[in-house]
Amino acid sequence: MKKSELHNIKDPGFQIPDAYFDTFDERLLKKLDLKREMSEMDGTGYQVPKDYFDNFDAKLAQKLEGLNQPKVKSLRSWRHIAYYSGVAAVLVLMLTLFMKSEDNLSINQVETASIENYLTNENLNIYDIASFLSTEDIMVEDFVANMITDESLETYLLNNASIEDLINEK
C-alpha cells in the first residue's frame, strides 16, 4: 500500500474472535490460579544426578582429549606488517633522495601570481619587505628613470585604493 493511500483505510485490519470477551474473565482467573499453584511448588522440578559435579572436570577433560584440533595458523602477524612497512618507507626515502631531478628551481620559474598570493596572505607591511632588500637592490636610477604621469597615478589610485586606505596611511 502506498503512503498516499493510508488516509483512505476504513478497516483497521484487526479482528477479535466471536465471544472473545464473554469468556475472558474465566480464562484470566484460570491463568492466575495456575501461577499461584506454581509459586507454591517446592523446588524447580529439575534434579541433577548425585555426584554429578564431583567428577565433572575429569569427564570434560577426557572428552576434550579425544578431539583432534588442527593447528591455528595466523595469516598475518604485526611483526611482518611492521617489517614490510619499514622496508617500503626506506625504499620511498631512497627514491626521493637519489632520483632528484636535474632542474633547479629559479625565481624566474615561479609564477607572479604565486608570489603575489604569498605576499598578500603573509600580512607583510612595507617595512618587512624593505628589510629584505639591500642598498644594492635599491638604486635611485630605478625610481628616477620611471616617469609617472599624474593621469596614470590618478587612474591607479582610483582603481586600486580605497578611501579608508588613504585615510589610515598618514
Q: Which three cell numbers stand for residue 153?
A: 597615478
* Distances in whole angstroms, Cα of residue 17 to Cα of each of 20, 23, 130: 5, 11, 98
In sequence order, which ranges of 20-148 are alpha helices (DSSP H)?
A: 24-39, 56-65, 78-98, 112-121, 126-132, 140-145
pLDDT in tens, the chain (170 residues): 567 777 777 777 778 888 888 888 888 888 877 766 766 667 766 788 888 888 888 888 888 887 777 787 777 778 888 889 999 999 999 888 887 767 676 777 778 888 888 878 887 777 887 887 887 777 776 666 667 788 888 888 888 877 777 676 65
Torsion of CA 48, 49, 55, 60, to 10 degrees: -70
Does the pTM surpass 0.75? The reply is no
What's the half-sphere exposure (Cβ side, CA atoms, 13 Å) at 40? Answer: 6
Instruction: Give the Cα separation of 121 and 113 in Å (integer).
Output: 12
Q: Report the distance separating Cα 95 and Cα 30, nearest Å.
A: 86
- So where are the chain's domains? 109-168
